Amino acid sequence: MFLKFIKDFGLKKIIKKKLSGYKPVSSPDVVKTVGIVVDESYFLDKELLISELVNFGIDRNAIKTLSFKERVKPKEIVECCHFTRKDISVTGNFEKADVAEFIDTPFDMLISYYDVEKPPLVLATLKSKAKFKVGFSSVDNRLNHFMISSQAEKYTEFISELFKYLKILNKI
């Protein structure tokens, strides 16, 4: 508990320093590849979210996810691309290879699917090389290019609003 507090405090300092000079640069490209950062300790319907994206025309093979878990139980089997606080170094770098690869992938769109601001999730969004970042309005507004005011439980509403505005912005 105490170590979690100290690590979060350090991550908040790193995030604050990086956000002070951070300007998200938008790209006029059409959305073909999508990355999703999900807080699995809060939202468990990741596959339903992906199927909703597929229903709107995104290729299933072009969608990759990165999940954050508070802790992984010893006998729990976890699929690829997840991270915990233990996978982040003191300097704010991701130590797992698959997480670092996800962060360095230049997605056409990154969906930050969490509405509760947690330092590890904010750091993953901030360090991502995605060209267009989308998230919830309840999270820091400097992180994303586009924000939707909704709740994480209402994933169908979120995706329908997202694609409504992506059409207006000529992203699809």
Sheet of strand 82-83: strand arrangement = 82-83, 63-68, 34-39, 109-113, 133-136, 146-148
Flag whether pLDDT at 157 surpasses 80.
Answer: yes
> How many angstroms separate the CA atoms of 109 and 38, rounded?
14
Question: Which pLDDT does position 76 carry in this prediction?
Answer: 67
- pTM to 2 decimal places: 0.86
84-114 residue pLDDT tens:
888 888 888 888 888 899 999 999 999 999 9
> How many angstroms separate the CA atoms of 115 and 31, rounded?
23
Q: Label residue 72 exposed, middle or buried (CB < 10 Å: 0-12, 13-18, 19+).
A: middle
- Listed in sequence order, the residues at least 6 apart from 124 whose beta carbon sits closer than 8 Å to its beta carbon are 37, 66, 68, 83, 94, 99, 103
Q: How many angstroms separate the Cα of 150 from the Cα of each of 12, 40, 51?
A: 25, 18, 19
- Listed in sequence order, the residues at least 6 apart from 131 whose beta carbon sits closer than 8 Å to its beta carbon are 26, 27, 29, 106, 107, 108, 109
Give me the residue spans of the domains in the chain: 2-23+31-168
- Of the pLDDT bands very low, low, confident and very high (cuts 50, 70, 90), residue 65 is very high
Look at the domain 2-23+31-168 and name its fold. Answer: Rossmann fold (3.40.50)
> How many angstroms separate the CA atoms of 5 and 138, rounded?
22
- Of the pLDDT bands very low, low, confident and very high (cuts 50, 70, 90), residue 134 is very high
31-63 residue pLDDT tens:
889 999 998 877 888 888 899 999 998 899 999
